[in-house]
Structures are given as structure tokens and as C-alpha cells.
Amino acid sequence: MHPNEIEGNSSVRLISVDGGENDDVNGVMMPTAHLRSSPYIRQVLAGFAVVWGRSRLMRLAPGAEVPQHSDINYHWFSRVRLHIPVVTSPEVRFFCGEQDVHMAAGEAWLFDNWRPHRVINPASQERIHLVADTSGTAAFWQFALSALGPSQGDQLRAYQPGLETALLTERTILRPVMSPAEVEFLILDLRAELTTAANAPEQPARIANLHAVLEGFCKDWRQLYLLHGEAPSGWYDFTRLRDGLREVARNLAEDLITRSNRVGAFKVLEGRVLRAALSLPEPVPASAPATGPLRSPNLERPVFIVAAPRSGSTLLFETLAASEQLVTLGGEAHWLVESIRELQLGMPSVESNRLLAEHATPTVAAKIMAQIGEQLRDSSGNPVALHSTVRFLEKTPKNALRIPFFDRLFPDALFIFLWRDPRENLGSIMDAWESGQLRTYSVLAGFEGPWSMLLPPGWPAMRGRPLEEIAAFQWETTNRTVLDDLKLMPRQRWTSLSYFELLADPVRAVRRLCQFMEIQADPALLRRANGPLPLSRFTLTPPTADKWRRNEAAIRRMLPSIDATWQRLRALA
């Protein structure tokens, strides 16, 4: 049925949130089973070379109609709807503004869905359109606008059996708190449209008051955002500010409409801004609570150490954690992620330790913040007072595969990438597997025996493979993933350090990292770095330069397969 249950309207979902049977517009868009079994429709959509949002086959029964309406919600502010008639009759008419047309089968049509529009099907047969939402590329819009001029000739897109196509779908979701720039942009566009409804007395004072209220809201929203960002500590204040505007604007906007489509001004404000400005996991309490996620501390530019397993990251973490300017969770914090049910291995879209930005939902963010707030410790191991602004240092090996996830949670986070010569690193990984002391999964469906250390994407292919191949797989996949993820990030937000540099001159390495983090190399930290570094807590046997030679033949067999990534690491210097 149609989402609004309009009689005679039904659809087959082709692209939806998570590829499921839903009509949501906020979420990761994926092809449904229906689209996966429809190669021609995939070819048609892919041919436009744009990113698609919610898409469907929409059916209008004989004698049915779509009542007149305007699409005013947030989703439609930056998107248009493409119509491609599949089954239709000449009697079917589409009305938009002052025009009406018959969209013929096989044609592609755009229309201004902000303006009032409706459809009628007086024919005796059903009407079916392929309907897809997009914002469109520059080339797409150039192509669309060319259709308004002299005809350039039709472009036929016939079905090509066996042709595989790359279909692009939307992968963004609403942020917990909309950015001030977007709030202001949406409201400025609305303010430019404000006018008095027909047959209502002119109300310049009311319009002026609404303008002032909307402008003040934008200023207050920006101040709150500068104070809290998207952190749960600000959710109560954001909710109160939004709800306050809702109450005031409802009265001020009475008899006011938007000029170009004659829709009530408050209705547009509600659909375009107020419903989308906050996308929180659950209703915020009526008063600021004393406990729970809103008590999380202000984490200013948290620092994440990322590295392949057995690269020396524990040694680096324990060294930097000596600084009195940094706080930690007391050590590796596997529980921070894996205590959250929706992030546990085996849950939907969690097939390894890899986590992406879309995994950082508002619900997950609230849980992460709450756990951090409860467990923060200073360099002496004492709890950190809540609500204080702190510099947070974190190192958990699996998080090397979760950079996009933590980047979504902490948009100002810094990353220190530690890497190690693969010959030494592979030897250490193999030693760890053989010791049995670093097992992470005692039972893993699709793998024989327990699994040690992090679990990269593609791990099922390691079933029955020799140990050196598994070690090379862990080293190469992790380092390549980190390199690829950091490449998408501004260069000032990450730095790299080799394990050799750390051991050769710890003081120099520490001073450089402090400069990167913009903290002082304080006496406690320099005392830790000055002199031979103590063994880390997870050291299996004392390190020596040639310890890897115990497995030299096996390791050398793997070097050609990982050489490309090794060369990328060397280039970091």
C-alpha cells in the first residue's frame, strides 16, 4: 500500500533503507530483492550515473488518482523524482502547477514536486511508473535542461543481456544534530517565501516577528552546536530549543503561507526543519537528567592509536598514557564496542571487526558516550570528573578497522598510525597465534579452531590456510584498510610513526607526537620516554631484531603478496 494508504495506490520497493520492506527515507539505501532480480531496471537506473535514494515501481489502479499535494519535507529539499512510465494509457494525465501532460511509456520525466501536483488514471487499465529519487550530478542536470531546448534526438537505452552495472545508492543518514549551516540554509529559503494567505488580512507585523524568531533560533542553534557539537550532553538543550520554536512559530505563522506553492508556512517549517533537525535515539527527558548518556564528558579531539596487531601499539599507548594531559579507559577497551549488541559479530552488517560510519547510529553513539563517561581514568588511574573537558587517548587493536566508525562519532578525532616492518610483524603475529594467549574468538563458524587477534573482512577465505598466510592476511588487510581510510581524511588529522622510529629515539618520537596532538611533552611523559622503554604488558618474549628469522622461510614466501602495501608504508616517511 501507499505509505499514506491512498486508495488505488500501491508499489514494489526497489531501493529502500537496508534493502528492506519499508518506506523510510533516513538510512543507508540498498537494492531490495526485487531490484536484484530485475537486471533491466538496474541498467536503466545505472545509465543516469547518479546516486539514487528511495525508488519504487508505483501502480495506480484503473479509476484511481493521486490527490493534489506538494512535497515539502526535508527529503525533498535537495532531491527530485524521476518518472519513467512502464505501463500507461493516453488518458493518464499528470498535473503540476498550471500544466498537465501525458507521460508516455519509456520516456523519462522530471517535475517540480515542490509545486502542487496530482495524477489521474481514468483508463480501464493500471498505470505503472518506475519512480526514483536523486539529487543529480552536474551532468545529469545539464542533460535534463537540454531537453527543454531544441530536440537533440532520443537516447535509447535497450536491455543488454548479461551486462553487469554499478548502481550507486545513498549511504548517508541524518546526523543526531543538524549542523548550524544547514539549519540556517533551510530557514533562509523558507523566509524568502513567506507571505499572507489569500483572503487573509495583510499581517506585516506578524511576518516581521516570525522573521525575528527564526533568525534568533538560528543564532541559538549555532551557539549550542559550538558548545556541544553532536555530543549527547547537548541533546536536552537542542530539544528544548527546537520545541520552543515549534510552539512560538505555530501561532505566529497562522494565515502565513509560502509564496510559490501556497502551503502553510508552519507546515513547511515542521516538515523541512523541525522534524529533521534532531535525529536522536529516543525521546529526551523533560528535564536534564543527572545520570545517563547526557553526563558524558566533553572529549576534545580524542586521539586513537591504530595499528596492525603486534605492531607495538601497546608500547606506544602505555608511553603516551604517562602524560598528565591525557585520559584513557585504563587499557584496551574491547568492551567499548563489543558490549553493544548491534555491533557484535554476527549481527546484521557485522561480519568482521570492520565498522563503518553507518554503524554509528544515534543509539550506538549514546551508549558509547555513556560507557566512556563511566570509565575514564587519568594517568594515575583515578576516575575523571564528568563534564570536564579532556583529551582522550584510546588504543584497541580492532579499532584499526573502525576508523570511519570513530570518525563519525568524533568528527575532530586525531589518529596516530603505527606500523612495523612486515618481516618482524609477521613473526610476532605467528608467535601470538602459536602461544594461544591472544585468542579473541574460541569458536568461529566457517573457521577451524579458535581465532586470535583482530578479525579483518574476508576472514572466511583463511579456512585451512597455513599460519604464515593468515598472519600476512591480518597484517596486509589491516594496514591497507588504515591507509585507505586515512587517505579520505584531512592530512592534519593523522600522522604516522614506524615501530623502528619509536625504539630508535623514543624522546624524539614522543615530542613529535605531542606536537601533532598539540599538548606539552610534560615531565612525566619525558621520564617514561627517556631511556630504554619498558616491556609492554602483552609482550610474549623479549623483542630482538632477528626473532622473526625463526620463521624466516615461511615469512619470505609471503613478502611478494604484501609488497604493495609495504611500499605504501615506506612512502609515509
Cα-based distances in Å from 405 to 62, 145, 267, 480, 499 = 48, 39, 35, 17, 25
What is the per-residue pLDDT for 540? 52
With bands split at pLDDT 50, 70 and 90, how would you rate the model's confidence at 341? confident
Higher-scoring residue by pLDDT: 18, 519:
519
Q: Number of folded domains in the chain?
A: 3
pLDDT of 2 higher than 90? no
Residues 120 and 24 both lie in one domain: yes
pLDDT of 296 higher than 50? no
Residues 163 and 189 both lie in one domain: no
Q: Give the tens place of pLDDT for each residue, 13-46.
A: 999 988 889 988 888 899 999 999 999 999 999 9
Residue 175 lies in a domain: no
**Mean of pLDDT values over 109-133:** 95
Residues 264 and 375 both lie in one domain: no
pLDDT of 295 higher than 50? no
Residues 138 and 188 both lie in one domain: no
Among the ranges given (39-53, 79-93, 322-336, 461-475), the one the predictor scored with the smallest mean pLDDT: 322-336
Residue 282 lies in a domain: no
Residue 4 lies in a domain: no
pLDDT of 441 higher than 90? no
> Mean pLDDT across the chain, nearest whole number?
89
Q: Give the tens place of pLDDT for each residue, 302-314.
A: 999 999 999 999 9
With bands split at pLDDT 50, 70 and 90, how would you rate the model's confidence at 375? confident
> How many whole angstroms separate alpha carbon 174 and alpha carbon 177?
8
Residues 429 and 505 both lie in one domain: yes
pLDDT-above-90 percentage for the chain: 64
**Mean of pLDDT values over 419-430:** 94
Contact of 428 with 314, CB cutoff 8 Å: no
- Which residue segment(s) compose the domain that 206 sits in? 180-277
Residues 147 and 187 both lie in one domain: no
**Mean of pLDDT values over 391-399:** 94
Closest CA to 331 of 489, 165, 156, 536: 536
Query: What are 131's strand-pairing partners?
Result: 56, 83
Closest CA to 166 of 337, 34, 50: 50
**Mean of pLDDT values over 187-194:** 96
**Mean of pLDDT values over 82-87:** 97
What is the per-residue pLDDT for 535? 57
Residue 220 lies in a domain: yes
Residues 140 and 197 both lie in one domain: no
- 163, burial (CB in 10 Å: exposed 0-12, middle 13-18, buried 19+): exposed
* Those residues with Cβ within 8 angstroms of residue 180's Cβ, 6 or more apart along the chain or in another chain: 218, 221, 222, 225
pLDDT of 157 higher than 50? yes
Contact of 421 with 500, CB cutoff 8 Å: yes
Residues 327 and 417 both lie in one domain: yes
What is the per-residue pLDDT for 293? 36
**Mean of pLDDT values over 366-376:** 84
What is the per-residue pLDDT for 137? 96
In the listed set 169, 202, 223, which residue is the last one of a domain according to the structure? 169
With bands split at pLDDT 50, 70 and 90, how would you rate the model's confidence at 294? very low
Residues 55 and 101 both lie in one domain: yes
Residue 461 lies in a domain: yes
